[in-house]
Chains A and B, each alone.
Chain A
Amino acid sequence: MTESSTPAIRLTGLRKSFGHVDAVAGVDLEIADGEFFSMLGPSGSGKTTVLRMIAGFELPTAGTVELGGKDVTRLAPFERDVNTVFQDYALFPHLTVRENVEYGLKVRKVGRKERRERAEQALSSVRLESFGDRKPAAMSGGQRQRVALARALVNRPKVLLLDEPLGALDLKLREQMQVELKAIQREVGITFVFVTHDQDEALTMSDRVAVFEAGRIVQVGTPEDVYEKPASPFVAGFVGTSNVFAGETARTLFGRAGTFSVRPEKINLRKAQETNGVVAEVIYAGPVTRYVVDLDAGARVVVVEQNRRTGTAALSELRGQRVRLDWLDEHVIEIPQLKENAHAE
């Protein structure tokens, strides 16, 4: 990720206001060539607006968008070397799958023969080679998704933008597409910018993740960084389930002031002589069981345990019982407090 000096995308002071609302309130970001980059955040956090400004569908209120070192802030979508996979796929219903895939090439006046070849190639890269003559309406959601991907990739853009492309698929298909997308990205080697509100998706596929909150990026880092070293209570809460301790509780548990977090899977729950909490709820969830425990120190925490040995009968017996929770010091995350003005605007 360091071989190229000019980043594929550079956003500087990017803002977008709709009326009085700042959808994007100042974003600075560099995305390297060939990177799988995810923008993660709850809905309304501005991630999709940033994507749309990179594609050219929205003009920024302030700031610049550079693609491969070239300022494209004021250029129309058809003048930018990026392609987009839309959330609703936006396939043209009156064209066949092949015509959909060829559309971009046809517009750019690529010859008929080359067009055919590249379309076939793109369709086979998403394993739809025999579907060229179908209309999109005659395909399943997952297939349409792959057509949309082929239609974008066939143009060999420098950057591929994906706007929650897996949102409409069911869980099984989504997991399968996550693997496939990652494989395709590795194969074609172009930059992917992937917008999602699903932290699992962001963590599994990305080289780096930017976490959005209220129109700003609150943390950029590798999935591991974002998960293990959240930069703010918001990130800790949004990425994965987390137990955040602050104020008096933190002082009791950790002996000093501050905000701390321990991930549910890092907490060890056992029956012991010396207890420090009461099990309030036991939730069986197949491979794991979640325990909700009220600590004597004054916090409610979630503990996740693999169901390797436990039988279901034994689980519910724990409800209401006193237990001992402990964790290793190295798993305690100290979360930096944001400056007070961070949310005000």
Chain B
Amino acid sequence: MSVLGSYLHRHPRLRLAGLLSAPLLWLVVAYLGALAVLLVSAFWTVNGFTGEVVREFSLQNFRTLLSEEVYRAVTLRSLGVAAAVTGICVVIATPMAFFMAKVASSKYRNWLVIAILTPLWASYLVKAYAWRILLANGGPIDTLFGGPGNGPGYGLFATIIVLSYLWLPYMILPIYAGLERLPDSMLEASADLGARAGRTFRAVVLPILIPSVIAGSIFTFSLSLGDYITVQIVGGKTQMIGNLVYANIGAANNLPFAAAIATIPVLIMVIYLVAVRRSGALEEL
């Protein structure tokens, strides 16, 4: 054993290879491999009579995606939902994170972090169904607004609300982490130089927080963009990209077309990540 140990000590590259091979294998095969298969199968088609996958290169799926109005509409709707969810999360998360990081006492702060984290341990489905009950016709939210039918009901708006609720912690945590790293002396310096709280927040806190906000938005945006369960549960007739993928895997039995649709959010996220890479947000993850 010690012979092997000292041999590895003399050959750091070999040691590194041994250490990394398992996780690298997982990354390459399970993750990148699956993505590659997805990309390749997007160029296949399905025989209309037999339902068999035809493994021949064809651009037909993408032609359909680009030419038919419904796919553009669904893509734009999904983008809109993802953007709205991200916006709502930023607006709610920033003051909450600020309170946690800069106002609350350290004991209180730990409780708040736990309070933010515990919903993440509960099942996604349970939370979505909880909102289904809340939003039901004649349910608690309707009652709050004065009677059945007065609340938002199921639909696009409900989807946005529930997704914002679900992904809020993913926005709070990076902003909280960013604020924790922001020294109090920075805020004091701003006040010392004559700035009131609002000014300090706009001129000092927000600019420094931008990378954290972007880091959070990568979560809220991509999670919203790919979601299909919440939409099914509270979305009414609303369809998002994820629903189309799901429908083509199941009912339509057209896996290649599902793969082609699935490349849309992947492409959008790649564009988004490239765009924000320069902001330094990726180091915040």
A binding-site residues for B, Cβ under 8 Å: 55-57, 76-78, 82-84, 86-88, 90-94, 103-104, 107-108, 151-152, 155
Whether the Cβ atoms of B193 and A86 lie closer than 8 Å is: no
Closest residue on chain B to residue A86 by CB atoms: B185
Alpha-carbon gap, A56 to B193, bound state (A): 12
B103 CB to closest chain A CB, in angstroms? 15
Chain B residues with Cβ under 8 A from A76's Cβ? 191, 196
B48 interface contact, C-beta 8 A: no
Tell me which of B193, B207, B208 contacts A103 (CB under 8 A): B193
Candidate in B189, B191, B193, B203 with the most chain A CB atoms within 10 angstroms = B193
Q: Flag B153-188 by CB within 8 Å of A: 1 or 0 each.
A: 000000000000000000000000000000101101
Alpha-carbon gap, A55 to B207, bound state (A): 25
Closest residue on chain B to residue A157 by CB atoms: B192
Chain A residues with Cβ under 8 A from B183's Cβ? 88, 90
Alpha-carbon gap, A77 to B183, bound state (A): 17
Closest residue on chain A to residue B185 by CB atoms: A90
Chain B residues with Cβ under 8 A from A152's Cβ? 192-193
Kindly list 10 other residue pairs between chains A and B, CB separation below 8 angstroms, not including A55-B188, A84-B189, A92-B186.
A56-B192, A78-B193, A78-B194, A82-B192, A87-B185, A88-B185, A90-B183, A91-B189, A92-B208, A155-B193
Alpha-carbon gap, A94 to B209, bound state (A): 10
B198 CB to closest chain A CB, in angstroms? 11
Whether the Cβ atoms of B188 and A86 lie closer than 8 Å is: yes
Chain B residues with Cβ under 8 A from A78's Cβ? 191-196
Whether A104 touches B194, Cβ cut-off 8 Å, given contacts A86-B185, A90-B185, A92-B186, is yes
Total count of chain B residues near the partner, CB < 8 A: 17
Alpha-carbon gap, A92 to B195, bound state (A): 13
Alpha-carbon gap, A84 to B189, bound state (A): 7
Whether A151 touches B185, Cβ cut-off 8 Å, given contacts A93-B208, A94-B207, A107-B199, is no
B binding-site residues for A, Cβ under 8 Å: 183, 185-186, 188-196, 199, 203-204, 207-208
Chain A residues with Cβ under 8 A from B203's Cβ? 103, 107
Whether the Cβ atoms of A84 and B188 lie closer than 8 Å is: yes
Tell me which of A84, A87, A91, A94 contacts B192 (CB under 8 A): A84
Whether the Cβ atoms of A155 and B186 lie closer than 8 Å is: no
Alpha-carbon gap, A58 to B193, bound state (A): 16
A–B pairs, 16, beta carbons within 8 Å? A57-B191, A76-B191, A77-B188, A82-B192, A83-B193, A84-B188, A86-B189, A90-B185, A92-B186, A103-B190, A103-B203, A107-B194, A107-B199, A107-B203, A151-B189, A152-B192
Alpha-carbon gap, A151 to B193, bound state (A): 9
Whether the Cβ atoms of A90 and B208 lie closer than 8 Å is: no
Alpha-carbon gap, A82 to B190, bound state (A): 13
Chain A residues with Cβ under 8 A from B193's Cβ? 78, 83, 103-104, 107, 151-152, 155
Whether the Cβ atoms of A55 and B185 lie closer than 8 Å is: no
Whether the Cβ atoms of A77 and B192 lie closer than 8 Å is: yes
Alpha-carbon gap, A50 to B189, bound state (A): 17
Alpha-carbon gap, A268 to B207, bound state (A): 63
Alpha-carbon gap, A78 to B189, bound state (A): 10
Chain A residues with Cβ under 8 A from B186's Cβ? 90, 92
Alpha-carbon gap, A82 to B194, bound state (A): 10
Whether the Cβ atoms of A77 and B191 lie closer than 8 Å is: yes
Chain B residues with Cβ under 8 A from A155's Cβ? 193-194
Alpha-carbon gap, A342 to B196, bound state (A): 41
Whether A94 touches B208, Cβ cut-off 8 Å, given contacts A78-B196, A87-B185, is yes
Chain B residues with Cβ under 8 A from A82's Cβ? 192
Alpha-carbon gap, A82 to B203, bound state (A): 21
Whether the Cβ atoms of B208 and A55 lie closer than 8 Å is: no
B195 CB to closest chain A CB, in angstroms? 5
B192 CB to closest chain A CB, in angstroms? 5
B7 CB to closest chain A CB, in angstroms? 43
Whether A83 touches B208, Cβ cut-off 8 Å, given contacts A92-B186, A107-B199, is no
Alpha-carbon gap, A57 to B190, bound state (A): 11
Candidate in A56, A88, A93, A107 with the most chain B CB atoms within 10 angstroms = A107
A17 CB to closest chain B CB, in angstroms? 16
Alpha-carbon gap, A168 to B186, bound state (A): 17
A178 CB to closest chain B CB, in angstroms? 22
Whether the Cβ atoms of A83 and B192 lie closer than 8 Å is: yes
Chain A residues with Cβ under 8 A from B196's Cβ? 76, 78
Chain A residues with Cβ under 8 A from B188's Cβ? 55, 57, 77, 84, 86, 90
B127 CB to closest chain A CB, in angstroms? 37
Closest residue on chain A to residue B196 by CB atoms: A78
